[in-house]
Structure 1
Amino acid sequence: MRIGVLDLASSLISIDSTNPGKLELEIADFLGDVLEDLGFNVERQRYSMRMNLFAYRNQERVRLLFCGHLDTVPPTEGWERSPFSPKVMRGRLFGLGACDMKGAIAAMIAAGVEALAEDKEVGVGFLLTSDEEVGMSGAKLAAPKLRDLFKNLRLCLIGEPTDLRLVTCHKGVLRATLRVKGVASHSSIPERGVNAVHIGINVLKRMMERGIPQLAHPILGRPTLQVTWVRGGVAENIIPDSFEAKIDARLIPQETEDRRKLLMDIAGEWGERVELEFGLALPPYEAPEIPEIAAISRIMGTVGLDSRPFGVPYLTEASVYWEKGIPSVIVGPGDIEQAHRPNESVYITKLALAKKLYRSLVLLLNRG
């Protein structure tokens, strides 16, 4: 039995799985039913109002596991048509999630079905998660089960948009909220107050000066620190008594100094008026040198793809799986330039090539 990549991707796009928003229950139930109809064993891992899916055939032979996320970001302004109405034109499939990453999920499932049609004993496995776009709670919940479910698992393949390049490393993330408590007064007598905005600006300036390690990774480049959101003040004639800012730090693998402690020490220089609360924190990822990744590189070369190791600045679920000792590579048909933007799309030729690549990898790594 075969399944059309374009048809399945279009069906997935038509289901609203925005996060925050509609979330993933509907799309997870739909895909669970599709996979069961295709002959896969399906385990639904439901939590809160969300669901992860594990699906497999010949699970003892699954060394390479296909991984993807079911959620999308909410649509932004500027869509020319409904983001949930898939449309094929100019050689592309348009729709929310076409690139990130419903197209990749469709290619993975189609590849698995074709591999089983060629060899019914080949191992094929999928992990489809919820909440990748916000907190990665789905991957965090699923990761501890992987070794028990797939005893011979060697590698996850994550279908995030890489334009079918072999991504073996990416930066980590550390997010924090800076809060400053001041004292309000009339702006004509600032000495009677404590300006929380002034303090906040000085703290952030010090963090930008001293909170970024002077290091560089040969592929990922330098670590970063960005202020992404600020709020402070009530009116133009009042000394502000509060200030708040969001901070996004991106980490590289060779950072040995704890960035969390570094930022805490800087904030601590201003005493009790300054508070730093940490949010999402995941380490950088760098794949180990294992035979399976070398084999993937060789196969990519045979189908005309760039097989050189590549890195990306954004975060993926590889960080979560690596915390459980499971390595990953990231290879997907989408282009990150198309993700999280109006009129998101993916080339149909890239979907077809992804299916061909994924099928070859399953037949190479999950036999015998």
Structure 2
Amino acid sequence: MMMQTYPSEEQCKTLLQTLVRTNTCQPEGNEEALVDWIVAQLPQDVTQFKIQNASNRASLIVKLEGDEDDGGVAFVGHLDTVACSEADGWTDPPHGAVVKDHTLYGRGACDMKGGDAAMLLTLKYLLENKVTLKRPVYFCFTSDEEASGLGIQSVLSSGYLNAVDAMIVCEPSREQISNSEKGALWIHVAIDGVSAHASRPTLGINAVEYASLLSQRIKNMVTAKSVHPILGPATAAVTKIFGGSMTNIIPAHAEFEMDIRTNPDTSSKDLEGEIDEIIDQLLKEAGQVSTRSGQLKISKTVINNRPAIETSKDHPLIQTLKAIGAKVGINTGERGHFFYTDASQFIPQMHIPFAIAGPGDDALAHCVNESIDLRSVQRFTKLYINYIMQTNKKD
């Protein structure tokens, strides 16, 4: 049988326009609309599992069977996008999916409906060519990745992917193959001091000043950690801060939030322990200031915890993807991701190798006038097809 050709740029455009024109913005999501549309395109004999995550929110697993039921690879992409508004300054409507000179513009074009399109085009190619497989291939479309990760959590708990031995996350990777991603620890800190007249600051305990001191000590601790050869240094940034009521009152309460990005050599548990030690030391120092009345109080809450994860750059999964990538025009230099993906909630439990490889430039994700080069969607579709044909096609 003569194999069907790779998808054309026009096919990439038509499919991606359908995906982008379906509004799946957070916080509502509405991913079920796309899940139902995908299911409607599938032949009736294709195995698929729809997982309801909430009202109008769903995830989908499509399974192409192999001769063996164990093993196989899972391609993973999320269907939700971050929020958007025309008032943000979009040149064209954010769900218009306007195309100009090979580039499609719209919310989610890059992050990550371009990757979803490449997954669906790969699925279509395998079905139309009746490719027989040694082991299963899974195409997983998740909800809520841009928030709490309800979709990938439900996929994990469903058990449908318990037998897979590799994962390819189809997030935008700037025309490269990534083998690692930073973790994230987000903390909220509340500080209670004692108010006083600002002309007599020694009579109070300045919660804002302690917030500033504490956040800087945490940042110093984080940034002093070892530098990862691909991901670079760990980082810490204060992203929210509140405190004070009037200029002439020593503030008795302050709050701040920090976004800490970790590398694979630092566990969240150890990092939390170090933060607690810094807080304890600061409380001890405050207790030694006898001229102040009252007592300093500090509470810390973790609001997000995603571990950093990594696959060895020498692992066959990474090396095979790079070898195929070089043939289809994808950069084979070393790459890691500074943001977390659905893999952060899956890989630590399953302990399988993963790669992040998807069309688009992640620097354009979440931006006004978000866009993707349609030729990138083509290239990564070729990468996925060739990876499956080389590693999993039955002779």
User: Normalization by structure 2: what TM-score?
Assistant: 0.86
Separation in structure 2 between the aligned mates of residue 63 and residue 20 of structure 1, nearest angstrom: 33
**1:108-123 to 2 correspondences below 5 Å:** 108-122=119-133, 123=136
Q: In the TM superposition, what whole-angstrom CA distance separates every residue of 1:174-233 from its partner, at most 9, and x where no partner exists?
A: 110111012233333434432210111111122122343430111111111111111111
Q: Does 1:133 align with 2:146?
A: yes
Separation in structure 2 between the aligned mates of residue 62 and residue 355 of structure 1, nearest angstrom: 22
Tell me whether 280-289 or 204-213 shows the greater mean CA deviation.
Answer: 204-213
Q: Does 1:73 align with 2:82?
A: yes
Q: Which residue of 2 aligns with 1:160?
A: 171
- Give the 3 Å change call, closer, same or farther, for CA 181–101 of structure 1 in structure 2: same
Which amino acid in the other structure matches residue 91 of structure 1?
A: H
- Give the 3 Å change call, closer, same or farther, for CA 110–248 of structure 1 in structure 2: same
Q: Which residue of 2 aligns with 1:314?
A: 339
User: Given the alignment, which residue of 136, 142, 148 partners 2:155?
Assistant: 142
Q: Which residue of 1 aligns with 2:27?
A: 20
Separation in structure 2 between the aligned mates of residue 93 and residue 229 of structure 1, nearest angstrom: 34
Separation in structure 2 between the aligned mates of residue 197 and residue 98 of structure 1, nearest angstrom: 41
Separation in structure 2 between the aligned mates of residue 237 and residue 140 of structure 1, nearest angstrom: 49
Separation in structure 2 between the aligned mates of residue 340 and residue 308 of structure 1, nearest angstrom: 25
Tell me the C-alpha RMSD between the 2 structures. 2.3
Separation in structure 2 between the aligned mates of residue 244 and residue 301 of structure 1, nearest angstrom: 49
Aligned partners of 2:182 and 2:264 also within 8 Å: yes
Q: In the TM superposition, what whole-angstrom CA distance separates every residue of 1:303-334 from its partner, at most 9, and x where no partner exists?
A: 23222332121112222221121321011111
Tell me whether 210-219 or 345-354 shows the greater mean CA deviation.
Answer: 210-219
Q: Secondary structure at the match of 2:302?
A: strand
Q: Structure 1, unaligned stretches of length 5 or more?
A: none
Q: Does 1:29 align with 2:36?
A: yes
Q: Which residue of 1 aligns with 2:236?
A: 225
Q: Does 1:255 align with 2:266?
A: yes
Q: Which residue of 1 aligns with 2:291?
A: none
Which amino acid in the other structure matches residue 28 of structure 1?
A: V
Aligned partners of 1:207 and 1:263 also within 8 Å: yes
Separation in structure 2 between the aligned mates of residue 61 and residue 270 of structure 1, nearest angstrom: 53
- Give the 3 Å change call, closer, same or farther, for CA 241–32 of structure 1 in structure 2: farther
Give the C-alpha shift of residue 22 in structure 1: 4.0
Aligned partners of 2:172 and 2:361 also within 8 Å: yes
Separation in structure 2 between the aligned mates of residue 362 and residue 38 of structure 1, nearest angstrom: 23
Q: Secondary structure at the match of 1:367?
A: coil
- Give the 3 Å change call, closer, same or farther, for CA 187–37 of structure 1 in structure 2: farther
Give the C-alpha shift of residue 164 in structure 1: 2.4
Q: In the TM superposition, what whole-angstrom CA distance separates every residue of 1:269-294 from its partner, at most 9, and x where no partner exists?
A: 24361111112111111114443332
Q: In the TM superposition, what whole-angstrom CA distance separates every residue of 1:244-283 from its partner, at most 9, and x where no partner exists?
A: 1111111112236811111111122243611111121111
Q: Which residue of 2 aligns with 1:96?
A: 107
Q: Structure 2, unaligned stretches of length 5 or more?
A: 284-295
- Give the 3 Å change call, closer, same or farther, for CA 351–211 of structure 1 in structure 2: closer
Aligned partners of 1:62 and 1:366 also within 8 Å: no
User: Given the alignment, which residue of 361, 370, 376 partners 1:344?
Assistant: 370
Give the C-alpha shift of residue 39 in structure 1: 5.2
Q: Which residue of 2 aligns with 1:298?
A: 323
% identical aligned pairs:
28
**1:274-285 to 2 correspondences below 5 Å:** 274-285=298-309
Which amino acid in the other structure matches residue 336 of structure 2?
A: G
Which amino acid in the other structure matches residue 127 of structure 1?
A: C
Q: Which residue of 1 aligns with 2:53?
A: 47
Separation in structure 2 between the aligned mates of residue 211 and residue 357 of structure 1, nearest angstrom: 37
Tell me whether 298-307 or 323-332 shows the greater mean CA deviation.
Answer: 298-307
- Give the 3 Å change call, closer, same or farther, for CA 304–90 of structure 1 in structure 2: closer
Aligned partners of 1:292 and 1:365 also within 8 Å: no
- Give the 3 Å change call, closer, same or farther, for CA 318–20 of structure 1 in structure 2: same
Which amino acid in the other structure matches residue 70 of structure 1?
A: L
Separation in structure 2 between the aligned mates of residue 240 and residue 39 of structure 1, nearest angstrom: 66
Give the C-alpha shift of residue 351 in structure 1: 1.2
Tell me whether 134-143 or 322-331 shows the greater mean CA deviation.
Answer: 134-143
Separation in structure 1 between the aligned mates of residue 154 and residue 90 of structure 2, nearest angstrom: 34
Aligned partners of 2:29 and 2:143 also within 8 Å: no
Aligned partners of 2:182 and 2:263 also within 8 Å: yes
Aligned partners of 1:64 and 1:365 also within 8 Å: no
User: Given the alignment, which residue of 17, 39, 63 partners 1:56?
Assistant: 63
Q: Which residue of 1 aligns with 2:288?
A: none
**1:177-192 to 2 correspondences below 5 Å:** 177-192=188-203
